[in-house]
């Protein structure tokens, strides 16, 4: 199984290295679709061997769908540039890669607000589908708050980790 990561960016030099570092050894391809950043985003993407594509920004949903179309993997992992996989989630994805099933997996999203991890008030676990078989899902909803729609809701499971 070939796993591609899809990330959209605009002036993300403060966040991107952490995100890309968390993907090392887990994904087989990283595609960064950028909205013509003016900072060091492109150089950071190059340091991690990412395919870097500049594309005009038409909205978060449209940009994320464009990024999906640029991937070549059998499966796709979608992250925002300010997100990173923890060690437990990295291990869960690696185990899943050895025996993929279904069409998509959910995972917990742990939010950091003002420098504090929020594990209460209904903010955690914020479960999102972020790993799916290529061709089985598209981003939809209203910008900037898109949601991934998996064809037939074929969730194959929930991955441990954040």
**CA proximity to 86, closest of 63, 110, 105, 103:** 110
**CA proximity to 55, closest of 68, 72, 73:** 68
Largest CA distance in the chain: 41
- Dihedral over Cα of 63, 104, 110, 7: its sign: negative
Cα 105 from Cα 45, distance rounded (Å): 26
For residue 19, the SS3 value is helix
pLDDT exceeds 70 at position 21: yes
DSSP lists the bridge partners of residue 76 as 4, 132
* Burial of 100 (C-beta count, 10 Å sphere; 0-12/13-18/19+): middle
Each residue's pLDDT tens digit, 147-161: 888 887 677 789 999
Q: What is the mean pLDDT of residues 89-107?
A: 92
**Percent residues over pLDDT 70 in the chain:** 97
Each residue's pLDDT tens digit, 43-93: 999 999 999 999 999 999 999 999 999 999 999 999 999 999 999 999 999
Going edge to edge, which strands form the sheet with 155-158? Answer: 51-54, 29-34, 3-9, 75-78, 126-133, 104-109, 155-158
**CA proximity to 83, closest of 104, 112, 106, 54:** 112
């Amino acid at each position: 199984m070939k796993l591609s990561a899809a990330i959209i960016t605009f002036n993300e030099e403060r966040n991107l290295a952490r995100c890309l570092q968390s993907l090392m050894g887990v994904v087989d391809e990283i595609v960064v679709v950028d909205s013509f950043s003016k900072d060091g985003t492109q150089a950071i993407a190059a340091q991690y061997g990412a395919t870097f594509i500049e594309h005009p920004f038409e909205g978060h949903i449209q940009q994320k769908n464009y990024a999906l179309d640029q991937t070549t993997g059998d499966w796709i992992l979608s992250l925002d540039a300010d997100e990173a996989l923890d060690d437990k989630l990295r291990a869960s994805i690696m185990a899943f890669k050895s025996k993929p099933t279904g069409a998509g997996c959910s995972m917990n999203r742990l939010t950091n607000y003002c420098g504090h991890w929020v594990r209460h008030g209904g903010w955690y676990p914020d479960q999102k589908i972020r790993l799916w078989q290529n061709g089985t899902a598209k981003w939809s909803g209203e910008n900037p708050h898109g949601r991934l729609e998996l064809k037939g809701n074929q969730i194959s499971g929930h991955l441990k980790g954040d």
